[in-house]
Amino acid sequence: MTEGSKATAEVGSPKRTKDIIAKYGFTFKKSLGQNFLIDQNILRKIVGAANLDKTKGALEIGPGIGALTQQLASEAGRVTAVEIDNRLIPILRDVLADTPNVHIEHGDVLKLDLPALMERQFAGLGGVSVVANLPYYVTTPILMKLLEEKLPLENIVVMIQKEVAQRMAAKPGGKEYGSLSVAVQYYCEPELVCIVPHTVFIPQPNVDSAVIKLALRDKPPVDVEDEAFFFRTVQACFAQRRKTIANNLTAFVGKANRERLGPLLESCGIDPSRRGETLSLAEFAALSDALRKAGLPG
């Protein structure tokens, strides 16, 4: 195969994408976040960031017509791609007919039993990455499901809306830092791989995107006595961003317990007049353990 013919064979080239769409009479559903990538360099960057090899597996969420799937199949030992849109299933099977290491799973990733799927598809492999150009309308629920279910993943490399990626990677002190930053950084080390202009998709979304790599930690960077309560505390501290910690926590513990908050915050080394966006993970951990120990909220 010549270089020229190889380029046209790549699913994610602009011409091949248009040909596939025309051949199958496919129409995009905005409600499913369908924006297909047509830039080989970006596809290569996404796949490269996952550090795959033939001993590893890749779980793709939302393969579309298979642009990323095809590149994943050439790097990974096995690829499983979960697609919700039943109109895309026969197209994917056809387009990827020559890539035997790909399994297409029809379903909604938010409803699937992912541990069972991973066990079935990736048993015996040396590690699994999630690699995806995610549908933007469900980015956070999908990522939180992957993290909260504590799936045995090495890393997650995803294209998401630029602002969401920046929030995930944000450090304390800035306006982008919030409960999403804390949740993501509790489970992972985030790294912004690149910013992607909206021109590399068809149809073009209204916003720019970014590729983010989330390397799963072996264990969280802070010890907490009760994980669910830790996350409730974090949510409470960010409930109203312009309010101080003391005011946000008053709503959490009840007005009757307001007087107890000052000494409790000070025992954790936290000035009650600070805002949630200035607290580190270690400070949130100390605060949630102290609230729990004090029996708050009652």
Ligand X SMILES: C[S@@+](CC[C@H](N)C(=O)[O-])C[C@H]1O[C@@H](n2cnc3c(N)ncnc32)[C@H](O)[C@@H]1O
Binding region: 35, 37, 62, 83, 108, 133
Using the rule CB under 6 A, is 96 a contact of ligand X?
no
- Part in contact with ligand X (CB under 6 A); list of ranges 84-92, 113-121, 262-270, 289-297: 84-92
Label the pairing between strands 188-196 and 209-216: antiparallel
Using the rule CB under 6 A, is 178 a contact of ligand X?
no
Q: Which CB, 189 or 208, lies closer to ligand X?
A: 208
Q: Which of 21, 32, 215, 268 binds ligand X (CB under 6 A)?
A: 32
Using the rule CB under 6 A, is 36 a contact of ligand X?
yes
Q: Which CB, 141 or 263, lies closer to ligand X?
A: 141
Q: d(Cα 272, Cα 291) in Å, to the nearest integer? A: 14
Q: Which of 7, 9, 110, 282 binds ligand X (CB under 6 A)?
A: 110
Q: Which residues are annotated as a binding site for S-adenosyl-L-methionine?
A: 35, 37, 62, 83, 108, 133
Using the rule CB under 6 A, is 196 a contact of ligand X?
no
How far from 17 is each of 30, 65, 116, CA to CA, in Å? 17, 8, 33
130: nearest Cα among 52, 58, 211, 51: 58
12: nearest Cα among 200, 207, 198, 161: 200
CB of 19 to ligand X, least distance (A): 15
194: helix, strand or coil:
strand
Q: d(Cα 239, Cα 252) in Å, to the nearest integer? A: 9
Residue 193: how many CA atoms within 13 Å on its side-chain side? Answer: 25
- Which residue has its beta carbon closest to ligand X? 62
Q: Which CB, 13 or 133, lies closer to ligand X?
A: 133
In the beta sheet, which residues pair with residue 202? 36
How far from 151 is each of 53, 120, 139, 165, CA to CA, in Å? 20, 14, 17, 21
Structure tokens at 276: 């949630």
Q: Which CB, 138 or 146, lies closer to ligand X?
A: 138
Binding-residue total with ligand X (CB under 6 A): 23
* Window 132 to 151, contacts with ligand X (CB under 6 A): 133, 135, 138
Q: Which spans of this chain sit near ligand X (rule: CB under 6 A)?
A: 32-37, 61-64, 67-68, 82-85, 88, 108-110, 133, 135, 138
